[in-house]
């Protein structure tokens, strides 16, 4: 199994630093959650790890191997926050295509469909789905990949409680099998059930790491942001 490692990753858009010298190890067999305010750099970090966005400097490692930008890596599966599919295709066509290109087994296919519940809309075109249902189709697509490294941007957004429970169980089981899971989320209560390693980003900078600490994640997050804000004010003086 492979750790996912950010090694001094920096990304700049124009004059804006989206990420600054990000170093972070996401261990195999664990769920690592990135949390932070909007614009903190979470989606950028995940896109760099997925090979979608180019870093200005730094490296992404999977295990001991450096992964180049835009390099196809079969062990990696990525779900962007705004995953979209052709509106005229039916859900069963999207799922069948994903299963065919990934050579997914019947068991893996059934698991992904049971977790996300998308069989309920199998015969409907993507264009007729609500945003929540289209989100579930994207999650099914990501879970269909026989990948050891899952990179998921807001995979819990818009899920009903029953589906959320199934997704949490699925991610827990995959981590227990040694997979590496990196996800960005704002759902602190759901995330705490995964007992993850937590990385807090603010303005493109890693400001805190948490590992199985007893205090509620929301409170630790609030304190970390307050400390970062105070440090920034002191540095500006």
**Which string of DSSP letters, residue by residue, matches 117-135?**
-GGGGTTSBGGGS-HHHHH
Which SS3 state, helix, strand or coil, does residue 153 take? Answer: strand
Give the count of beta carbons closer than 10 Å to the beta carbon of residue 190: 17
Domain locations in the chain as residue ranges: 1-72+177-237
CA distances to 24, 138, 229 from 83, in Å: 25, 6, 33
Q: CATH 3.40.50.2000: does it fit domain 1-72+177-237?
A: no
Q: Is the pLDDT of residue 64 over 80?
A: yes
Question: What does pTM read for this prediction?
Answer: 0.90
Tell me the backbone φ, ψ of residue 54, rounded to 5 degrees: -90, 130
**Structure-token pair, residue 1:** 């199994």
Query: What is the average pLDDT score of the chain?
Result: 88
Question: In this structure, are residues 44 and 20 in contact, taking their beta carbons and an 8 Å threshold?
Answer: no
- Residue 170 and residue 155: Cα distance in Å, rounded? 12
**CA atoms of 117 and 189, how far apart (whole Å):** 22
Q: How far is Cα 35 from Cα 141, in angstroms, rounded to an integer? A: 23
What number of other Cβ atoms are within 10 A of residue 70's Cβ? 9
- Best CA proximity match to 24, nearest among 223, 179, 198, 232: 198
pLDDT surpasses 90 at 237: no
Among candidates 10, 138, 3, 18, which has minimal Cα distance to 78? 138
Most confident of 36-40, 72-76, 99-103, 187-191: 36-40
Q: Which pLDDT value is given to residue 203?
A: 92
Model confidence at 232: pLDDT above 70: no
| pLDDT tens readout for residues 67-105 | 887 776 777 889 998 888 899 999 999 998 888 887 778
Return d(Cα 43, Cα 19) in angstroms, integer.
10
Between 169 and 82, residue with greater pLDDT = 169
Maximum average pLDDT range among 18-27, 134-143, 187-196: 18-27
In the 3-class helix/strand/coil scheme, how is 176-231 assigned residue by residue? HCCCEEEEECCCHHHHHCCCCEEEEEECCEEEEEEECCCCCHHHHHHHHHHHHHHH
């Amino acid at each position: 199994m492979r750790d996912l490692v950010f090694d001094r990753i920096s990304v700049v858009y124009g004059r804006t630093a989206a990420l600054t010298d990000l170093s972070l190890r996401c261990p195999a067999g664990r769920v690592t959650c990135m949390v932070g305010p909007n614009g903190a750099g979470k989606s950028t970090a995940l896109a760099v790890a997925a090979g979608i966005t180019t870093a200005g400097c730094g490296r992404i490692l999977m295990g001991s191997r450096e992964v180049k930008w835009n390099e196809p890596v079969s062990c990696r599966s990525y779900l962007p926050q705004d995953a979209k599919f052709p509106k005229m295709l039916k859900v069963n066509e999207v799922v069948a295509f994903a299963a065919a290109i990934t050579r997914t087994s019947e068991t893996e296919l059934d698991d992904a469909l049971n977790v996300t519940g998308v069989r309920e809309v199998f015969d409907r075109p993507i264009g007729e789905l609500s945003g929540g249902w289209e989100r579930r189709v994207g999650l099914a697509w990501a879970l269909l990949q026989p990948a050891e490294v899952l990179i998921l941007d807001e995979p819990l957004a818009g899920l009903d409680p029953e589906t959320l429970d199934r997704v949490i169980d699925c991610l827990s089981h995959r981590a227990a099998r040694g997979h590496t899971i990196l996800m960005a989320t704002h759902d602190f209560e759901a995330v705490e059930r995964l007992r993850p390693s937590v990385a807090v980003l603010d303005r493109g900078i890693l400001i805190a790491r948490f590992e199985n600490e007893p205090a509620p994640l929301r409170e630790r997050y609030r304190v970390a942001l307050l400390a970062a804000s105070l440090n920034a004010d002191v540095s500006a003086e």
